[in-house]
Structure 1
Amino acid sequence: MAGQQEIQQYPILETARRQVLEQGVGLSEAELVEVLRLPDHAVPAALDLAHQVRLEHCGEEVEVEGIISIKTGGCPEDCHFCSQSGLFDSPVRGVWLDIPELVKAARETAVTGATEFCIVAAVRGPDIKLMNQIKFAIDRINEEVDINIACSLGMLTQQQVDQLASWGVHRYNHNLETARSFFPQVVTTHTYEERLETCAMVKEAGMELCCGALMGMGESLEQRAELAAQLAALEPHEVPLNFLNPRPGTPLENQQLMDGKDALRAIAAFRLAMPRTVLRYAGGRELTLGDLGTREGLLGGINAVIVGNYLTTLGRPAAADLNLLVDLKMPIKELQKTL
């Protein structure tokens, strides 16, 4: 644990100790920039403080989730980081997963101890066909598996939001991805405001909002702080933290991997921005942080993980993450059915 004297060496950490740890009030955008600019030798103190904040305001449990794609590839949007866009020369091709495979994946996810199973589709937004498949999948999964169901289906209409809520969808994922000021450099086929509209409807319908970040796309430190502050203002239940894994055929295929120390600074900053939010390890951590960095992040504010593979990239084996949680003496959150 970082000592009081060590924290006092860095005024921003002393501010965070008083404001975030003791009062539960997140840091401002300007203060987050200071955290992101801390020297390398101050990173352990920042992570330790973020871990104390997590324990104080979220508790010690870690939530485990699995994800699977019902429709992979062929998306009409031009998100520059995504190999599922049909506009890029990517090796990912359009594939639909049938319902028995979804049920099998949900069952396998539950066996790991996960409380959440997220169904994802690479679309701008769901059409009638996809909504019907989602309803059928939810019914079949609920018949056979005791797990909360989440969805990530792009931008929604009010009717679709209401349908998903009535079907018992526990949580909806719709990432902001990056700061408003950087967004036009990453996506041009839809706007930041359109994403915010879906997020607002999801919250108003009573579903938990999962709204994440993707870092390492060339944004500045100031823009990372901007994103953390914008997410804090949105007050999502959960924020997945992704780190760019440059995919062949995408506009960002030659982007350098984010520096591991910068990733750890970001983890600490996001926790100090959102003391009560679920911060979930998501894509790219295997490359950006490696095994040691993954461990440091779990002791630096992270309190949820996606286990197994992601949508188009391989993650760490589920057993590796689960064994790490045991090694760190972090209890896995038990299922509390909300459907």
Structure 2
Amino acid sequence: MTAAPGQSATRDTAQDDVLAVAREQVLERGTGLTEQQVLAVLTLGDDRLTELLALAHEVRMRWCGPEVEVEGIISLKTGGCPEDCHFCSQSGRFPTPVRSAWLDIPGLVKAARQTKETGATEFCIVAAVRGPDRRLLDQVRAGVKAIRADGNDIQIACSLGMLSREQVGELVEMGVHRYNHNLETARSHFPQVVTTHSWEERWETLRMVAEAGMEVCCGGIVGMGETVAQRAEFAVQLAELNPHEVPMNFLIPQPGTPYEDYETIEGKDALRVVAAFRLAMPRTMLRFAGGRELTLGDLGAEQGMLGGVNAIIVGNYLTNLGRPATKDLEMLSGLKMPIKALSDTL
């Protein structure tokens, strides 16, 4: 029978063999696992977790190298979003404590400067919107210009919701080099998470971003009621996009949202997901993002960095506190993982 996550039940032959197959297929040839193979990895027992994480780390080192990309994020427009993403405290449809607010340009410049001072090479400007209107795009343009006028050469990314082809072109012209737009979860589970827009609408934005030459950053949130099979489905759907970066988030139940009473997933299951995603996408940057502190804690975060992760968001998230940047930088130093230099990203 197949062992459930977190259990050490009797394993079948396919499970006994999946890591051996992955070693030849992923580590040696650089070919990501199929959906069924990812599912087999996700249902490995706890007794094979150490072996799984070690293999995922080998794959990361073989196909991505030892460097870690460090990123900071800032919310330009917070709250008041018209969409009903059930996990999000910034939705205007739910009675959450978050209220709508805009960050001014001096505040944006200061945040970019502080991010650069941590050693980060990436600064992502985020807005809680369905998609950008004229005011928001003008604010982003002014913000990018002011950051550059401040002498800051940090790479600038944006996450502004769904885009039109014209808006994609504007961001390229501004010098935005990477666009984040998460698919959030597997296509089959998406209608249970969001009802005000479709998974396909998000996919179309990502397709246009890739066609325009911007780097694609696309991930999601684990722990929103999806099945283990849907986690495997999600991994291969992301792999089909061939994204430059996949942010790995774990649900932080937010007061006032439909998911406020959801339990966080167990640390071992989170580590299984990280390793499985690495084996599905051997060349992709996997970034630790929201919820890792709650799900994994300090030790688990280190295990994740040694289990396939090669990028990290430092400091706070959009509406949740993260660990102090100094703690993450100390962790990377202790693991002897060099921070990717800005010159290597240009």
The TM-score with structure 1 as length reference comes to: 0.97
Within a 5 Å distance, the mapping from 1:218-257 to structure 2 comes to 218-257=225-264
Query: Is the CA contact 2:15–2:40 (under 8 Å) kept in the aligned structure 1?
Result: no
1:3 matched to which residue of 2?
none
Within a 5 Å distance, the mapping from 1:1-339 to structure 2 comes to 10-144=16-150, 145-336=152-343
Q: Structure 1 vs Structure 2: percent identity of aligned residues?
A: 67
* CA pair 77-282 structure 1, distance change in 2 beyond 3 A: same
Following TM superposition, by how much is the alpha carbon of 1:9 offset from its aligned partner in structure 2, in angstroms? 8.6
Following TM superposition, by how much is the alpha carbon of 1:337 offset from its aligned partner in structure 2, in angstroms? 7.5
Following TM superposition, by how much is the alpha carbon of 1:336 offset from its aligned partner in structure 2, in angstroms? 2.6
Q: Secondary structure at the match of 1:239?
A: strand
Q: State the distance in 1 between where 2:262 and 2:185 align.
A: 15
Q: State the distance in 2 between where 1:130 and 1:338 align.
A: 27
Q: State the distance in 1 between where 2:50 and 2:297 align.
A: 17
Following TM superposition, by how much is the alpha carbon of 1:195 offset from its aligned partner in structure 2, in angstroms? 0.2
Query: Is the CA contact 1:170–1:338 (under 8 Å) kept in the aligned structure 2?
Result: no
Following TM superposition, by how much is the alpha carbon of 1:41 offset from its aligned partner in structure 2, in angstroms? 1.2
Q: Partner amino acid for 2:173?
A: S
Q: Secondary structure at the match of 2:87?
A: coil
Q: Deviations over 1:137-182 (max 9, x none)?
A: 0011112212000000000000000000111101000000000000
Q: State the distance in 1 between where 2:267 and 2:145 align.
A: 42
Gaps of 5+ in 1: 1-7
Q: Deviations over 1:36-56 (max 9, x none)?
A: 000001011000000000000
Q: State the distance in 2 between where 1:9 and 1:44 align.
A: 15
Q: Partner amino acid for 1:168?
A: G
1:4 matched to which residue of 2?
none
Query: Is the CA contact 1:243–1:284 (under 8 Å) kept in the aligned structure 2?
Result: yes
Following TM superposition, by how much is the alpha carbon of 1:306 offset from its aligned partner in structure 2, in angstroms? 0.1
* CA pair 148-172 structure 1, distance change in 2 beyond 3 A: same
* CA pair 183-304 structure 1, distance change in 2 beyond 3 A: same
Q: Partner amino acid for 2:327?
A: A
Q: State the distance in 1 between where 2:72 and 2:177 align.
A: 14
Q: Partner amino acid for 1:273?
A: A
- State the superposition RMSD in angstroms: 1.1
Q: Partner amino acid for 1:83?
A: S
* CA pair 338-296 structure 1, distance change in 2 beyond 3 A: closer
Query: Is the CA contact 1:148–1:337 (under 8 Å) kept in the aligned structure 2?
Result: no
Q: Partner amino acid for 1:25?
A: T
Q: State the distance in 1 between where 2:266 and 2:87 align.
A: 17
Q: State the distance in 2 between where 1:121 and 1:337 align.
A: 27
Q: Deviations over 1:292-315 (max 9, x none)?
A: 110100000000000000000000
Q: State the distance in 2 between where 1:57 and 1:74 align.
A: 41
Q: State the distance in 2 between where 1:168 and 1:34 align.
A: 42
Gaps of 5+ in 2: 1-13
Following TM superposition, by how much is the alpha carbon of 1:338 offset from its aligned partner in structure 2, in angstroms? 6.5
Q: Secondary structure at the match of 2:342?
A: coil
Q: State the distance in 2 between where 1:84 and 1:275 align.
A: 33
Q: State the distance in 1 between where 2:149 and 2:48 align.
A: 50
The TM-score with structure 2 as length reference comes to: 0.95
Query: Is the CA contact 2:123–2:154 (under 8 Å) kept in the aligned structure 1?
Result: yes
Query: Is the CA contact 1:147–1:337 (under 8 Å) kept in the aligned structure 2?
Result: no
Query: Is the CA contact 2:293–2:323 (under 8 Å) kept in the aligned structure 1?
Result: yes
Structure 1 residue ranges, 4+ long, deviating more than 4 angstroms after superposition: none
Following TM superposition, by how much is the alpha carbon of 1:202 offset from its aligned partner in structure 2, in angstroms? 0.4
Q: Deviations over 1:61-112 (max 9, x none)?
A: 0000000000000000000000000000000000100000000000000001
Query: Is the CA contact 2:15–2:41 (under 8 Å) kept in the aligned structure 1?
Result: no
2:7 matched to which residue of 1?
none
Following TM superposition, by how much is the alpha carbon of 1:10 offset from its aligned partner in structure 2, in angstroms? 2.8
